[in-house]
Amino acid sequence: MSDAVTEENWMSKVLSSPVMKTMAENLNASAIETDPKSTPLFNAIIRYLGSEGTVIDIGAGVGRFAIPLAQEGMNVTAVEPSEEMRRHLLGSMEQNGISSRINVIPSPWPLDEDLHADVAFSSFVIQFSPDPVKFIRAMEKSANKRCILAIHVDQPLGFLKDVWKVFHPSETAPAMLTFSELYPTLLNMGIIADATIIEEQFNPQRMMKPDRMISMLVDLLNIKDSPQDVSKLKEILVKHQQEASQKRLFRTAIISWQPGR
């Protein structure tokens, strides 16, 4: 059996609990740095909701958007499969006294049950889905007024390309779904969506800690049984560290459409 990286196994490694821990820390830090209520995504959601509107937050994470939406009086369904993320989410719900406004569903999207709300949105989640078309179809079925997706424009795993070549020269490095593939997918589904591109400054302080980065990459590259390869990887990472920690811009697309048109 080859140790080639398949879509499924690298995805499960990216979504492993150590990575989720880093992701949760980063999302909490981001919610403190930037008030989610001031973000273009929050505003894109809220404009389709009246008072006490209903909204499904698909892959709610630590509740960066679910919490402020509930604070604004919305009734939120937060779909979140990761136990690590839910721990943070449930903690914030209690801390903010809004537990009655958020219904947490501990499952991946799409759900087996039928769910309906004014708005269904998903922020930086669809790139983890094994079937984006099914993911989008289920959003369309659930939303009465608007479907909204936030997705990376620039490849978040772009840095893997060079590392991959060294250890697996005959394989293509894993890549995440980004705007340039997602928009044509929507068009092929007959969905002509509005898209806004926003630019944000990458915060190098929110980079993954070096030891966590190394263990994630060792796992992804499947090199843990080769101490030689592990030290080679460390050398490469030290060389790239300065470049990776430079301030730079990253772009996000906010894609929004009326379901069933």
Ligand X SMILES: C[S@@+](CC[C@H](N)C(=O)[O-])C[C@H]1O[C@@H](n2cnc3c(N)ncnc32)[C@H](O)[C@@H]1O
Q: Phi/psi class of residue 160: alpha, beta or left (left: φ > 0; alpha: ψ in -120 to 50)?
A: alpha
Stretch that binds ligand X, among 58-66, 138-146, 176-184, 224-232 (CB under 6 A): 58-66
Among 124, 164, 167, 179, contact with ligand X (rule: CB under 6 A): 124
Q: Sheet containing 194-201: which strands, arranged edge to edge? A: 102-105, 75-79, 54-58, 117-123, 143-152, 249-257, 194-201
Q: Is 85 in the site for ligand X (CB under 6 A)?
A: yes
The least CB distance from residue 62 to ligand X, in Å, is 6
DSSP string covering 67-129: HHHHHTT-EEEEE---HHHHHHHHHHHHHTT-GGGEEEE-SPSSPSS---EEEEEEES-GGG-
Q: Is 58 in the site for ligand X (CB under 6 A)?
A: yes
Among 19, 23, 102, 119, contact with ligand X (rule: CB under 6 A): 23
Among 10, 42, 48, 128, contact with ligand X (rule: CB under 6 A): 128
Query: Which H or E run contains 251?
Result: strand 249-257
Q: Is 44 in the site for ligand X (CB under 6 A)?
A: no
Residues 162, 258: Cα–Cα separation, whole Å: 40
Among 14, 49, 93, 108, contact with ligand X (rule: CB under 6 A): 108
Strand pairing report for 54-58 and 117-123: parallel
Q: Is 27 in the site for ligand X (CB under 6 A)?
A: yes
Residue 18's identity, in one-letter code, is: P
Q: Specify the residue, 82 or 142, whose C-beta has the smaller distance to ligand X.
A: 82
Q: Specify the residue, 79 or 223, whose C-beta has the smaller distance to ligand X.
A: 79
Q: Which of 115, 112, 61 lies closest to 87 in space, CA to CA?
A: 61
Residues 147, 257: Cα–Cα separation, whole Å: 5
Residues 107, 105: Cα–Cα separation, whole Å: 6
Q: Specify the residue, 54 or 129, whose C-beta has the smaller distance to ligand X.
A: 129
The least CB distance from residue 63 to ligand X, in Å, is 8
Among 109, 164, 179, 257, contact with ligand X (rule: CB under 6 A): 109
Q: Specify the residue, 105 or 221, whose C-beta has the smaller distance to ligand X.
A: 105
Cβ neighbours of residue 1 closer than 8 Å, sequence gap 6 or more? none
Q: Is 10 in the site for ligand X (CB under 6 A)?
A: no
Q: Is 123 in the site for ligand X (CB under 6 A)?
A: yes
Among 54, 77, 92, 129, contact with ligand X (rule: CB under 6 A): 129
Stretch that binds ligand X, among 124-132, 180-188, 218-226, 249-257 (CB under 6 A): 124-132
Contact residues toward ligand X (CB under 6 A) are 15, 23, 27, 58-61, 64, 79-82, 85, 108-109, 123-125, 128-129
